[in-house]
């Protein structure tokens, strides 16, 4: 007996420079759509009926997407169970490796973030500078949040269905470029380039050279949100003449 198809909602991102837009085009064109590559990758799942991506939001030629979405139905051979979330995301990303297209896996990023919480030697997550020999690499991360954000420019993109995500870190102090490295590593997990357990392994290496090349997040998305003080730190009496 043939099982009914399972329906999935997937979120994906892409750099649109090399594509004619997100929608499917004829394969004989010199530049084709993102959908062409998504459906080509999906056929590696061995469905018994060709998989069609129903894209939620059209983007034009050259336009990038931080988070577009689509639903798809997958009907597998008799006796084959439906794919779970991790299996589907891993397989699609694996077959999309040559292309700048990814299904961003936020639950995996949150799992990975748990390894960063607490007190650790963050040597792998710092860049070297003149202060490195004099600084302890031990830092305590008090909070890591990954959550949807309105984004500063989101009102300009409402019609395209883009989603913005905010990564928030809280600590008494950070090492040189520590936040950019942590963000880059977590995004790499979301893209399937690293697994959550890789974050734990990077911490255990305690070597800045072990950090994956080109994985550091750019400075343009980094904001210092606030500086907090304990009330006791502010209640300091200065003696006359000091």
60 is catalytic: yes
Burial class (CB in 10 A: 0-12, 13-18, 19+), 38: buried
Tokens of 147: 């959550």
Chain-centroid distance, C-alpha 175: 22
CA distance 89 to 8: 11
Question: 206: which DSSP letter?
Answer: -
CA distance 28 to 167: 41
Token pair 């030697």 in the structure block, residue = 121
Q: Are 16 and 64 in contact (CB under 8 A)?
A: yes
CA distance 175 to 124: 11
Identified catalytic residue from 28, 60, 73, 235: 60
The residues assigned a catalytic role are: 60
């Amino acid at each position: 007996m043939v099982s009914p198809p399972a329906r999935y909602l997937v979120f994906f991102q892409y750099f649109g420079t090399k594509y004619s837009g997100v929608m499917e085009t004829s394969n004989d064109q010199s530049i084709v759509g993102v959908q062409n590559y998504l459906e080509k990758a999906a056929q590696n799942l061995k469905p018994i009926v060709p998989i069609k991506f129903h894209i939620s939001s059209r983007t034009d030629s050259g336009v990038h997407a931080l988070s577009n979405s689509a639903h798809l139905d997958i009907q597998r051979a008799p006796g084959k169970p439906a794919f779970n979330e991790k299996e589907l995301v891993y397989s699609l990303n694996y077959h999309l490796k040559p292309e700048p297209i990814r299904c961003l896996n936020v639950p995996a990023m949150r799992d990975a973030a748990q390894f960063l919480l607490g007190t650790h030697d963050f040597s792998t997550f710092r860049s070297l500078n003149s202060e490195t020999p004099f600084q302890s690499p031990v830092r305590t991360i008090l909070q890591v949040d990954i959550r949807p954000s309105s984004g500063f420019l989101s009102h300009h993109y409402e019609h395209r269905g883009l989603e913005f995500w905010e990564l928030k870190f809280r600590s008494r102090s950070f090492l040189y470029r520590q936040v950019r490295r942590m963000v880059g590593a977590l995004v790499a997990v979301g893209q399937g380039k690293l697994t959550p357990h890789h974050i734990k392994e990077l911490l255990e290496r305690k070597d800045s050279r072990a950090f994956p090349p080109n994985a550091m997040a750019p400075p343009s998305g980094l904001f210092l949100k606030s500086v907090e003080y304990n009330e006791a730190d502010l209640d300091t009496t200065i003696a006359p003449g000091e």
